[in-house]
Amino acid sequence: MTSKSVHRPFFLMLMLTLMSLFFIAQLIIGDLSSALTLIPQKVIEGNEWWRIATHIFAIDSALLAFIGIPIYFWLGREVIQLSHDFVFFLGLTIGALIIGLMYSAMPMDCPPMGAGLYGMLYSASLAMTIIRSPAIDIPALTKLRISIIATFTIGFGFVFLGASMFSGNTMQMYTYALESGTGIMIGLLSGLMWSHVRLASKEKQYQPFVKSTMPTYVPITSQPMRRDEKTMINIIIQQNEETQSILIEDDIDDEEMLNVILEKLLDNQFEDLSEDDKAFLERYSRSLK
């Protein structure tokens, strides 16, 4: 799958629309966040369990609205183009439910939690994981663009978390730390799971093609041998036997020739050696080296 594949970001656009409408209504009405943000004491004591899901789009901060929504749009659209709409939305929703249950189990004096660092860092972590997945082929410029936006998002999240540590508000620091850690972890796990599933589907898709194109080798012994094959094998065997016999005869002739020359040398008949004898000695001496 390449970055040119087109997927409709229906769930992403729905989420961004809900966030924008909620923030606008929050500015107009003023106390809308108290009905949808995650407040642990209202979840446990008031049985308002819908807050575990609705806090994901309940933006109650102008800073997070003007920074978070564009980041959702940029990174979410890139992730959806590389994977699928449900990959982004499913991980975002599951993570929101997990963080909602964890936050509800914290001390009752925790501040309300709305849409904030969790979604931003989830988007960045998921994008960084997917662009490094071997399941897709992605252009270098697209990878660079996504890496820059995701790195900026993660850096902003840690700066925001660091600022809360120096504010002196312990509960606020715990809230941002839980959002940051859960967002990065859920994004990483979602990207790895998608990559695993995508790789498995690609292997299954190409397996019939590989089987059909690979040649099938059958051992010779399992096939009946034809008459022309037998004839060819017999000819090859006969030629090998003749070659070996010729080599043996050549060796015998060389030994006889060498004995004759040695007898001449023992009788001090070096002058009687012919040019052929001298050439033979020279060739024979080279063969011994």
Both 144 and 233 in a single domain? Answer: no
Q: How confident is the model at residue 125 (pLDDT cuts 50, 70, 90)?
A: very high
Please report, for the domain that includes residue 30, its CATH number. Answer: 1.20.1540.10
Residues 152 and 268 in one domain: no
pTM for this predicted structure = 0.64
Q: What is the 3-state secondary structure (H, E, C) of the chain?
A: CECCCCCCCHHHHHHHHHHHHHHHHHHHHCCCHHHHCECHHHHHCCCCCCHHHHCCCCCCCHHHHHHHHHHHHHHHHHHHHHCCHHHHHHHHHHHHHHHHHHHHCCCCCCCCECCCHHHHHHHHHHHHHHHCCCCCECCHHHHHHHHHHHHHHHHHHHHHHHHHHCCCCHHHHHHHHHHHHHHHHHHHHHHHHHHHHHHHHHHHHHHHHHHHHCCCCCCHHHCCCCHHHHHHHHHHHHHHHHHHHHHHHHHHHHHHHHHHHHHHHHCCCHHHCCHHHHHHHHHHHHHHC
CA proximity to 65, closest of 116, 10, 14: 116
Name 2's bridge partners: 137
pLDDT at 126: 93
Quick one: average pLDDT of 205-233?
52
User: For the segment 140-156, what is each residue's pLDDT rounded down to a tens digit?
Assistant: 888 999 999 999 999 88
pLDDT: which is higher, 53 or 217: 53
Average pLDDT, the chain: 77
> Are residue 252 and residue 159 in the same domain, yes or no?
no
Same domain, 163 and 185: yes
Q: What is the mean pLDDT of residues 20-25?
A: 84
State the average pLDDT over residues 56-69: 81
Of 165, 187, 213, which residue sits at a domain end? 213
Highest average pLDDT, of 6-10, 173-177, 237-241, comes from 173-177
246 band by pLDDT with thresholds 50, 70 and 90: low
The residue out of 157, 189, 213 marking a domain boundary is 213
Is residue 84 predicted with pLDDT exceeding 60?
Answer: yes
| Domain membership of residue 243 as a residue range | 226-288
Lowest average pLDDT, out of 83-87, 98-102, 104-108, 178-182, goes to: 104-108
Look at residue 4 and tell me if it is in a domain: no
Residue 244's pLDDT band (boundaries 50, 70, 90)? low
CA distances from 13 to 32, 66, 73, 125, 137 (A): 22, 16, 8, 20, 25
pLDDT digits (tens, 9 = 90+) for 89-122: 888 888 888 888 888 887 667 888 888 788 889 9
Same domain, 68 and 187: yes
In a domain, 208, yes or no: yes
1 or 234: which carries more pLDDT confidence?
234
Report the domain count for the chain.
2
pLDDT at 164: 77
- pLDDT at site 217: 44
Q: Are residues 261 and 151 in the same domain?
A: no
> Which of the residue ranges 13-27, 202-216, 256-270 would you say has the lowest mean pLDDT?
202-216
Q: Do 127 and 268 lie in a common domain? A: no
Mean of pLDDT values over 155-166: 83
Q: Is residue 3 domain-resident? A: no
- Let me know if residue 219 belongs to a domain: no
Percent of the chain at pLDDT above 90? Answer: 10
Is 265 contained in some domain? Answer: yes
Q: Residue 218: inside a domain, yes or no?
A: no
Residues 25 and 99 in one domain: yes
* Contact predicate 174/108, CB 8 Å: no
**Domain termination residue (choose one: 187, 213, 239):** 213
